[in-house]
Chains A and B, each alone.
Chain A
Amino acid sequence: MQLTHLDELEAEAIHILRESAAGFERPVLMYSIGKDSTVLLHLAIKAFWPAKPPFPFLHIDTTWKFREMISFRDETMKRLGLDLRVHINQEGVRQGVSPITHGSKVHTDVMKTQGLRQALEAGKFDAAIGGARRDEEKSRAKERIFSFRDRNHRWDPKNQRPELWNLFNTRVNEGESIRVFPLSNWTELDIWLYIHRQKLSVVPLYFAKERPIVERDGMLIMRDDERFPLRAGERIEQRRVRFRTLGCYPLSGAIESDADTLEKVIEEMLVARTSERQGRLIDHDQSGSMEEKKREGYF
């Protein structure tokens, strides 16, 4: 019996979820509605079936998510009968923080990062399970699957615990916590393939559709509600777009696309990759220049 790479990634993620449930007193799963969260949620249900996952789900709502995300979230949680807690940084709301008035940096820091801290402290959670992947960006490539945070929620990259085999160290002292990343070893393509294989439903925003779009600073922004003011000269056009990643709508750029099915979305990713390979003649150039350098006395 031959296991495929998706089988192995699935088994590994389930192992990690079960270790989290067994190893911590108060774990919580960060549910952010996107494709990675969809896979993570599916795996969490699978890991503890026929029981429900033995931890609550937490969404940090910045109040600027796409409306379709919120309705997808609420339907999903209702369908599965899960314990979802939504946290909004009320202090931020009182101060009127928004991506429009304060810019993306302040908005993200106040509504997301500080909101998360508030929620974790209020719930006294000693583990927060999230859907981050190591292939997302370079700084994640060295992060642990069970990633330690001190009392101030800080990550010290120089002081990470070695992680060997599947022997995870879940020990923390009072006030400290661990961020757990069961999807660490998944790539973006793996996520889509798994969604395809398991026939999981995702937020429709991932698929191409005519949407009200404003073009600003080279980004295609979907105007999801009246809070997004148009600048002089800007106008709303119906354009056929989809989103590769989802977040706060004023900060999420759409891409023009005709991919309105899962297969077409995957194809679009693959074709984009194929085109990158074309026209690279570097091999020949370099070996030629190296030959020349050697003749000129290189080493």
Chain B
Amino acid sequence: MSLAFTSGESVSEYLDRYERNELLRFLTCGSVDDGKSTLIGRLLHDTGRLYDDHLKALEVESRVHGTQGGALDLALVVDGLKAEREQGITIDVAWRYFATARRSFIIADCPGHEQYTRNMATGASHCQLAITLIDARNGVSTQTRRHAFIASLLGIRHVVAAVNKMDLVAWGEGRFREIEREFLDYCARLGIADPIAVPVSALTGENIVTRGSHTPWYSGAPVLELLESVAVDRPAADASFRMPVQYVIRPTLEFRGFAGTIASGSVKAGDRVRILPSGRETRVRRIARSHEDGGDLTIAVAPQSVVLTFEDEVDCSRGDVVSCLGGSGDALVAQTFEADLVWMDESMLTAGQTFLLKVGTRVTPARIVRVRHRVDVDTLEPQVTDTLALNDIGRVEFETEQAIAFDPYRRIHGTGSIILIDRLTNATAAAGMIRTGDASDAHARKAHWQTEAAPTIHPPVGQSLVTAKVRAERWRQKPIAILLYGSSGSGKTMRAFDLERGLWQQGHAVVVLDGQMLRAGLSRDLSFTDEERSENLRRASEMARILLDQGLIVILSMVAPSPEARALASDLIGAERVVMIDCGESDSPDAGALLRMVSAKIR
């Protein structure tokens, strides 16, 4: 049960139990019409968060303003304040609180209509779970897809679709399953780890706090039970230790304490650590705490706020990051990086502008080097652009005035998130999630292949029923890729089409992927720097891999100037499935020799 205080329990028993309660922060999104306010009102009401005076006022309000024919209208609990609406602040995130016997909850209530991107991103940055409301009559809407996308962008793993107003579709299982399937498929595309759909009626309370009687076909948990039982995502204790230094405490000459909130992992007295960006190493002497508070800690974990002292007199101040040595790795240190940005200011973002950038506890001037693209949140398509407007989401390259320490957001939220502050107005103009570090050096280019290749959009769940063996038999060929590379004018494209015709005439199933062809569409956002040519090759390689799995022979015609990038392409496709031909070499095979060579390999 959800009662905060169970009868028969003594106060001290209750206190012992409640003081051990975990905290879950979740957001609710969806427009007013979807029943979001009613859902929250229902959660607060049914868990006893409403006082008598609230309820009395609510009864009166319900008779006057209610939409439930004079009956208690729970929506009025959260959106009943007309004064707020007149002040125009209903477009803002509202925070609400309740607790049950098992957990304490903080709700970030995000309105769906206006400013939804900004509100959702704000709410999601604080939350571990998102509830998106779906009106059972309307099904998965554009808005549902936007909410799921923003939740995934902000790294929320648990997304719950509350399929509401089931009472208005006669509690039909068929309708629910249809919505559930569409929702889960979409979440899978976004790489959301743990999507769940629940059939509810916020109005009647069905499957909100308790299981209802109208949905016997639903075997899952009601919403509150999910909230109470879902694994709370914490910065994992076994993750790499990071602590941005907030404040240096120096009461005496003998004591120098470095205060901060642990962003990830854990720290013990005696641990070796590195101060970034300087890279100096030292050892943690104490995790200092006052005697009255229980004395020093032997271990501390995220998200505790602590004070560390070090063995050595290292140079360390606000803005630095204390990071573990070894393990799964150091934070990155760079002056250039790339981030996904949620633009929140009325004025446009354009390349060349400078802002104050805050990452961890470091604030430093940063220049927008380039806007790479904007994401259409309805289709997930990247669109080439060089500006971002209010509520746009896009990818941006940064250059900071000084080197900063950070992590990719996907890995560590606390050291991978940024805000941009307008230097004139001091407004918080944007929030961002760092993707990768230094785009200009070889190390980062490799990271680009690895990190960016890791799917943010997963392949559809399930497996093809047509096996590779069956395909090979049908086409009478062993699928391989031939990468013809060389600078413009080396004749690679002509050779690619000659080879294609030759193989075609022998009865083979073959396709050509040409670098220029890709740039007409798939890689329209790329320029002709080495780095971006390398990215074009990566995309071509990904496509080749898919086509090879379909049993086809793939001829790639690419500039591919970097040996490192070609090696990565070979890794990606599978070295045993790829043949590399340098068309710039004077002794590279002519069309006939090439055809003979390939014909021999595909039998």
Answer whether A196 and B426 are a contact pair too, CB < 8 Å, given A160-B92, A276-B48. no
Question: Which residues of B414-432 are within 8 A (CB) of A?
Answer: 414, 417-419, 421, 426-428, 431
B-side contacts of A12, CB under 8 Å: 303, 305
Cα of A171 to Cα of B422 in the assembled complex, Å:
10
Tell me the residues in window 236-288 of chain A with beta carbons closer than 8 Å to chain B beta carbons. Answer: 263-264, 266-267, 270-277, 280, 282-283, 285-287
B116: min CB distance to chain A, Å: 13
Chain A positions within 8 Å of B441 at CB level: none
Q: Which of A82-90, A136-144, A214-222 lies at the interface?
A: A136-144
Binds B, one of A1-9, A60-68, A224-232: A1-9
Q: How far is the CA of A173 from the CA of B600 in the complex (A)?
A: 75
Q: How far is the CA of A51 from the CA of B254 in the complex (A)?
A: 12
Pair A276/B426 contact, Cβ less than 8 Å: no
Proximity bits, A172-194, B CB within 8 Å = 1, else 0: 11000000000011010110010
Which residue, of B259, B266, B431, has the highest number of chain A Cβ atoms within 10 A? B259
If A49-B290, A274-B3 touch, does A164 touch B97 (CB 8 Å cutoff)? no
Q: Name the segment of B50-58, B471-479, B562-570 touching the other chain.
A: B50-58
CB of B246 within 8 Å of the partner chain? yes
B50 touches A276 (CB 8 A): yes
Once the chains are docked, how many angstroms separate the CA of A204 from the CA of B483? 82
CA distance A165 to B264 in the complex (A): 14
Which of chain B's residues have a CB closer than 8 A to the CB of A294?
Answer: 167-168
A163 at the interface (CB under 8 A from B): yes
Secondary structure of the A side of the interface?
Answer: helix
Q: Which of A16-24, A33-41, A69-77, A92-100 contacts B (4 or more CB under 8 A)?
A: A16-24
Q: Is the CB of A165 within 8 A of B92?
A: no
- Chain A residue at minimal CB-CB distance from B2: A277
Instruction: Tell whether, in the assembled complex, residue A9 and residue B23 are in contact, meaning their CB atoms are under 8 Å apart.
Output: yes
- On whether the beta carbons of B95 and A273 are closer than 8 Å, the reply is no
The answer to whether B299 touches A1 (Cβ under 8 A) is yes
Q: When A185-B97, A290-B203 are in contact, do A5 and B104 touch as well, CB less than 8 Å? A: yes
A5, A51, A142, A291: the one contacting B22 at CB < 8 Å is A5
Q: Is B293 interfacial (CB-CB < 8 Å)?
A: yes
A188 → B minimal CB distance (Å): 10
Contacts of A163 in B (CB 8 A): 122, 428
A157 at the interface (CB under 8 A from B): yes
Docked CA distance A284–B229 (Å): 27
A46 & B299 in contact (Cβ 8 Å cutoff): no
Chain B interface main SS type: mixed
Interface residues of B in 398-452 (CB under 8 A from A): 413-414, 417-419, 421, 426-428, 431
Q: Is the CB of B71 within 8 A of A22?
A: no
List the B residue with the shortest CB-CB distance to A148: B426
Say yes or no: is A289 at the interface (Cβ < 8 Å to chain B).
yes
Check A166 for interface membership: any CB of B closer than 8 A: yes
Contact of B305 among A15, A264, A280, A289 (CB under 8 A): A15
- Candidates B48, B234, B344, B417; contact of A273 at CB < 8 Å: B48
The answer, yes or no, to whether B251 is at the interface (CB within 8 Å) is: yes
Report B1-47 residues with CB < 8 Å from chain A CB.
Answer: 3-5, 7, 11-12, 14-15, 18-23, 45
Question: Contacts A7-B304, A50-B288, A138-B84 hold; do A157 and B22 have CB atoms under 8 A apart?
Answer: no
Q: How far is the CA of A167 from the CA of B7 in the complex (A)?
A: 42
Shortest distance from the beta carbon of B130 to any chain A beta carbon, whole Å = 15
> In the complex, A289→B305 CA distance in Å?
52
B72 within 8 A of A: yes
Give the A-B pair count, Cβ closer than 8 A.
219
One of A1, A6, A142, A173 near B426 (C-beta < 8 A):
A173
Check A18–B246 contact: CB distance below 8 A: yes
Q: How far is the CA of A283 from the CA of B431 in the complex (A)?
A: 42
Enumerate chain A residues within 8 angstroms of B529, measured Cβ to Cβ.
none
When C-beta atoms are compared, the residue in chain B nearest to A141 turns out to be B94
In Å, the complex CA distance between A141 and B19 comes to 24
CB closest residue in chain B, given A143: B95
Q: Are B126 and A165 interface neighbours, CB within 8 A?
A: yes
- Determine if B461 is an interface residue (Cβ-Cβ < 8 Å): no
Q: Which residues of B have CB within 8 Å of A267? A: 11, 14
Please, which residues of chain A bring their CB within 8 A of the CB of B137?
299
Cβ-defined contact, B251 with A51, below 8 A: yes
Contacting pair A263 B12 (CB below 8 A):
yes
Please measure, in the bound complex, the distance between the C-alpha atom of A46 and the C-alpha atom of B260, giving whole angstroms.
12
Contact A15 B261, beta carbon cutoff 8 Å = yes
Q: Which residues of A contact B121 (CB under 8 A)?
A: 162, 164
Nearest CB on B from A294, distance (A): 7
Residue of B nearest to A268 (CB): B11
A169 within 8 A of B: yes
**A298 nearest CB neighbor, chain B only:** B168
Nearest-Cβ distance from residue A170 to partner chain B, whole angstroms: 9
The answer to the question of A107 belonging to the interface, with a C-beta cut-off of 8 Å to chain B, is no
Smallest CB gap from B59: residue in A: A282
Task: With CB as the reference atom, state the residue of chain B lying closest to A171.
Answer: B426
B293 and A46 within 8 A (CB):
yes
B22 and A2 contacting across the interface, CB-CB below 8 Å: yes
Are A285 and B71 interface neighbours, CB within 8 A? yes
Write the A131-162 contact mask toward B (1 if CB under 8 angstroms, else 0): 00011001101100000000000000110111
Contact of B431 with A164 in the complex, beta carbons under 8 Å:
yes
- Which one of A4, A47, A51 has the greatest number of beta carbons of chain B within 10 Å? A51
Q: Name the distance in Å between B90's Cβ and chain A's nearest Cβ.
A: 8
Q: Which of B20, B51, B246, B251 contacts A19 (CB 8 A)?
A: B246
B246 touches A142 (CB 8 A): no
Contact with A along B176-213 (1 / 0, CB 8 A): 00000000000000000000000001011110000000
Of A51, A157, A266, which one neighbours B11 at CB under 8 angstroms?
Answer: A266
Tell whether, in the assembled complex, residue B18 and residue A286 are in contact, meaning their CB atoms are under 8 Å apart.
no
Q: Is A3 a contact partner of B301 (Cβ separation < 8 A)?
A: yes
Q: Find residues 94-142 in chain A having any chain B CB closer than 8 Å to their own CB.
A: 134-135, 138-139, 141-142
Kindly provide the distance from the CB of A279 to the nearest chain B CB, expressed in whole angstroms: 11
Instruction: Give the residues in chain A near B51, CB-CB below 8 Å.
Output: 272-273, 276
Smallest CB gap from B260: residue in A:
A18
Instruction: List, in ascending order, chain B residues with CB within 8 A of A282's CB.
Output: 71-72
| A187 CB contacts on chain B under 8 angstroms | 97, 99
> Does any Cβ of B come within 8 Å of A197's Cβ?
yes
Considering the chains assembled together, what is the distance between the CA atoms of A266 and B16 in angstroms?
13
Asked if B122 and A162 make an inter-chain contact with CB atoms under 8 angstroms apart, the answer reads yes
Task: Given contact pairs A3-B301, A142-B89, enumerate 7 new A-B contacts (beta carbons under 8 Å).
Answer: A51-B250, A134-B97, A158-B88, A263-B12, A273-B48, A286-B71, A287-B204
A-B contact pairs, 25 of them (CB 8 A): A4-B20, A4-B23, A5-B23, A8-B23, A48-B259, A142-B95, A164-B125, A164-B126, A164-B428, A164-B431, A165-B125, A165-B419, A166-B261, A187-B99, A193-B15, A196-B19, A264-B11, A266-B11, A276-B48, A280-B45, A286-B68, A286-B72, A287-B167, A289-B69, A294-B168
Residues in chain A within 8 A of chain B (CB atoms) = 1-12, 14-15, 18-19, 21-22, 46-52, 134-135, 138-139, 141-142, 157-158, 160-167, 169, 171-173, 184-185, 187, 189-190, 193, 196-197, 263-264, 266-267, 270-277, 280, 282-283, 285-287, 289-291, 293-294, 299
Interface pairs A-B: 3 shortest CB-CB = A5-B23, A51-B251, A14-B305
